Chains A and B, each alone.
Chain A
Amino acid sequence: MNEALPFARLMQGNEAIAEGALVAGVRFFAGYPITPSTEIAEILAKKLPALGGRFIQMEDEIGSMAAVAGASLAGLKSLTATSGPGFALKQENIGFASITEIPCVVVNVQRFGPSTGIPTAPAQGDVMQARWGVSGDHPVIALCPASVQEAYLLTIKAFNFSEKFRTPVIFLTDEVIGHLRERVTLPAPGSIPVVNRKKPPAGLDTYYPYRSDRDGIPPMANFGEGYRYHVTGLVHDEDGFPSTKPEVAAGLMHRLHNKITDHLDEITLSDSLMTEDAEIIVIAYGAVSRSARRAVKEARAQGIKAGLFRPVTIWPFPEKEVRALAGRAGALLVPEMNLGQLKGEVERAAGSAAKVTGLNLVNGELISPGEILSQIKRLKMVNTNAKESRKILS
């Protein structure tokens, strides 16, 4: 086979994440076994050594997140993978990586919760944990794939974002995608851009590890490269040392937020299907968006102007995009495998411009196209009835 040509393979979602991570340049993985994410660890345990990379199974989830941050500071692109209960334990050191601006990727293959829940059943219950699981205000990038192909490519993107913006990136997938097997077209090696962290120039008299460039992101020296600096989870000044000065604390907090919000156009990824003329737009992410896509197509076949908006970046929430959709369509339908975590965000963005309806299933099963289609039809009926009554009234 000619290695330079793209070729296709049957791959499992978790495998695609592991393979994507390798393309992105991951050279360190620390984790703790947890269903339904474990394949990622198993594959990387096998494959990393040949690439000079390193795998370690830590004593717990907390330790694996700490090891990931440490390894990244020592210069290796680092990954961990877990599921809801493990994700909860990792929050402490995700917060550390956030305030100390250590690039890393955290995969959460969501399962039914809370607590041990149903380890083998899918859910989307960690949408808010991904956003607010860490103590204190902090910026978050969370990405959500809808296919095995996308899991592969989006993992590379996750690493690129983490390296560019010096932040942990949450890869928020679910058991359906993690265990799904699909055809994946592997792009030719070298054809996908891979971003590496920005380094300070050599030979500086003084290196300020937290003095940002105009893009809000400070260049990062790795431990052992000659710039000896201090890293702390305490609020710190540009020199990296602790400070309790109000202006330093506020400056750090705002810069951490702004380095993400100033680049929303680059970070916000989404996908749309027939939204231009749609009266009813389904907003769905992850595995549920697959059912939604089918439902929208069937609705169109039945003459209903339905559309699909699929946030790929779910944090930061695509507020501007949803506001525009709300202005266009009268009804937004948000099917989720939770009790309405993203729906609240959609409502906030839509305001009074559109009516937002949730379709929430929390039984450990994927929402089916039929369930979404019948909601679309119901909303269509409500719309029609409302138009009729307006006609009668006028």
Chain B
Amino acid sequence: MQKNLEKYFRSEKLPHIWCPGCGNGIVLSALVRAFERLKINQDQTVIVSGIGCSSRASGYLDFNTLHTTHGRALAFATGIKVANPELNVFVLMGDGDATAIGGNHLIHAARRNIDLTAIIFNNSIYGMTGGQYSPLTPYQSMTATSPYGTLEPTFDVAELMKAAGATYVARSTTYHASLLSRLIRNGARHKGFSVIEAVTACPVSYGRKNKMGNGYDMLMWQKEHGIPRKKAQRLTPEQMRGKFIIGELHSAEAPEYTESYGRIIEQAQSSL
């Protein structure tokens, strides 16, 4: 590990619990590299996570860390940010955590445009429970609970977030790790609800059943299927079939919730 990044970790809690080939460590690395560039104040930063493999990340990071209940990370984070808007709040979630059990909190955090930076580790599967399908599992995938292939279409989480009102939406993969780190950094700087989808690999619970090879093979899959936004503009829909766009997908200005509430407080106090 680079010396300048060590201070962000609770080194005594490492090594992590993730399987060989798992991409979660790469997402975590992109996150702490973003912290380093942001020169973030660890005392004034809270990292909230849900339940699942990716959500164990909070325990490894030397911040104010809150490992919550399944799907509820954004609701806890909302309470923290509203109570103390001075705190920087990052929210780490898995794909099932964020878009299935936590789907309601996800769309409403986006709608409020509250200043949180949410990172969705999308490994296409419920990894910790042994590989059941999630709302982001590709159609017709083989999983422990879809032995005949999934019948359910997936969310496009970026489109979902854009429609719900998020003002910063981006996507990258663990292959495109430096892009991922830059997007997290930009999301953190953005005032409002930022969501970054990090496409990551679960070779053990997803890749194996879908014949995608090992962790390296799955990284190569990400390389081939994640198409940078500018390049995607030059490709035909036919050429984009089965591929997905990476990069900054949406950015907008809108009133941020805690700032708006701060003005209500000011008005109420000045009319006393």
Binding site for B on A (CB under 8 A): 27-28, 30, 49-50, 52, 54, 56, 58-60, 62-64, 66-76, 78, 92-93, 96, 223-226, 228-234, 241-242
Contact = CB atoms under 8 A, between A and B. Distances in A.
A56 B66 contact: no
A59 B105 contact: yes
Interface residues of B, number: 41
B272 A224 contact: no
B79 A78 contact: yes
Nearest to B101: A62
B78 interface: yes
Nearest to A58: B75
A73 B265 CA distance: 21
A66 B69 contact: yes
B3 interface: no
Nearest to B70: A92
A228 B62 contact: yes
A66 B72 contact: yes
Contact of B59 (A59, A96, A225, A241): A241
Nearest to A52: B265
Contacts of B129: none
Contacts of B44: 224
B237 to A, nearest CB: 35
Contact of B69 (A49, A50, A54, A93): A93
A242 B13 CA distance: 10
A230 B62 CA distance: 9
Interface in B86-116: 86-87, 104-105, 107-108
Contacts of A73: 66, 79-80
Given A49-B269, A62-B72, A232 B67 contact: yes
A229 B65 contact: yes
A56 B72 contact: no
Contacts of A67: 75-76, 78-79, 82
B84 interface: yes
Contacts, number: 137
A49 B78 contact: no
A193 to B, nearest CB: 24
Given A66-B76, A226-B43, A231 B66 contact: yes
Given A30-B79, A70-B78, A224 B13 contact: no
Q: Which of A59, A60, A71, A96 has the most CB of B within 10 A?
A: A59
Contact of B269 (A52, A56, A60): A52
A54 B261 contact: yes
Contacts of A229: 64-65
A231 B67 contact: yes
A250 to B, nearest CB: 21
Nearest to A233: B69
Main secondary structure of the interface of B (DSSP, over half): helix
Nearest to B87: A224
B264 interface: yes
- For the complex of A and B, list the 7 residue pairs with the smallest distance between their C-beta atoms, beginning with the closest: A70-B79, A67-B79, A66-B75, A63-B75, A71-B83, A49-B268, A74-B83
Interface in B190-247: none
Contact of A50 (B48, B104, B108, B272): B272
Nearest to A93: B69
26 contacts: A27-B83, A28-B79, A28-B83, A49-B265, A52-B265, A56-B78, A62-B72, A63-B72, A66-B78, A67-B82, A70-B79, A71-B79, A72-B83, A74-B80, A75-B84, A93-B72, A96-B69, A225-B43, A226-B43, A230-B10, A230-B59, A230-B65, A230-B67, A231-B65, A232-B59, A233-B69
A241 B69 CA distance: 15
Given A28-B83, A63-B104, A96 B78 contact: no
Contacts of B183: none
B231 to A, nearest CB: 37
Contacts of B86: 224
Contacts of A60: 104
B180 interface: no
B68 interface: yes
